[in-house]
Amino acid sequence: MNSQTVRRPENKRPSRSQKPKKYYKQTARFEGKRDGKPLIFGWGTHLSHNEKVQIQRRATWITAISVIVLIVAVIIGFWVNINIIIPSQPITSVNGHPVPQSLYRKMVAFKTQLAQSSINGPNGEIAQRDSMKKQLADLQQQLQTLSKQFDTVKKQIAALKPGPSPERTKLTKQQTDIQTSGTNLATKYTTISQQYTNLTKTVIPQDQTNINQSQVGNDSVTWLQNDELIREWLASQNSQVQARVNPTAGALSQAMAAFKANIPKTSSYSAFLSKDRVSDDDMQAMMAVTLRRDNMQAYLASQVVSPTYQV
């Protein structure tokens, strides 16, 4: 068998298009060459493109920095005004002595917490009300027990034979003792019941109503004004009078301990300081004002002397 070599067909590349190429004319730009265009308001035709770009960048940075500086200045000014300028301004004055707003704000925080603690504290009015309610329930239970004992003794006496006897004397004495105890318990029950009613319907609602910004604010201004007058008056008194009116370190420490202990259980002393943005030294100063006020009232009361009866 004869084999023949078969030649593969040659793959010829297609011929390129014979269309002529088009060339576009472009203008070369040189950064250092003046383009004759103004930068702003007709100014800047003498500058090159590179110089204009640099000026634009500088203007952008200067504007951004100026805005940032302005914002920071406004924030700082606002902070200084709120925390330094306004607190240092007087809210009132006494004999030419100003009372700064910072002192007023501390007194408002102190008196507000004092009022809240007097109502809701562990030793506050609500706690006293609950204690009275429990006492009334206990007294009522005791009265019911005495009533049953009285009825039992009465039946025992009725079951005795007519006429005097040691047993009758004994039971009669028991009956009398039960009556006396019942009378005392009933009197105590009536007294506590009246206190409970007054505390529930009058004292607590009134004190809760008084805890408002205007009432506390007015009282705070009055206390600070009175304290300024007291301190001015004490400056002209002898050391004995000053010692009676000015609170001692021990009295201040004891009062602060009671103040902290009577804060409602839902809060704490540290939480109170943080919430009202005051310090422990601030509260000690306000407590000193309170104690000095109380001591002054006690001193003035001791100076009141009844007039001597004259014939």
Question: What's the confidence (pLDDT) of residue 1?
Answer: 45
> Lowest-confidence range among 72-81, 122-131, 182-191, 292-301?
72-81
CB-CB contact of 38 with 56 (8 Å) = no
Domain range summary for the chain, segments of one domain joined by +? 37-88, 89-296
- Give the residue carrying structure tokens 């002192």: 103
Question: What's the confidence (pLDDT) of residue 11?
Answer: 53
d(CA 35, CA 9): 62
d(CA 17, CA 10): 21
CA angle 108, 113, 114 (to 5 degrees): 95
d(CA 306, CA 66): 76
> Lowest-confidence range among 1-10, 93-102, 246-255, 269-278?
1-10
Question: What's the confidence (pLDDT) of residue 72?
Answer: 87
SS3 123: coil
Q: Give Rg (Cα) of the chain.
A: 47
CB-CB contact of 153 with 171 (8 Å) = yes
d(CA 159, CA 174): 15
* Range 159-177 average pLDDT: 89
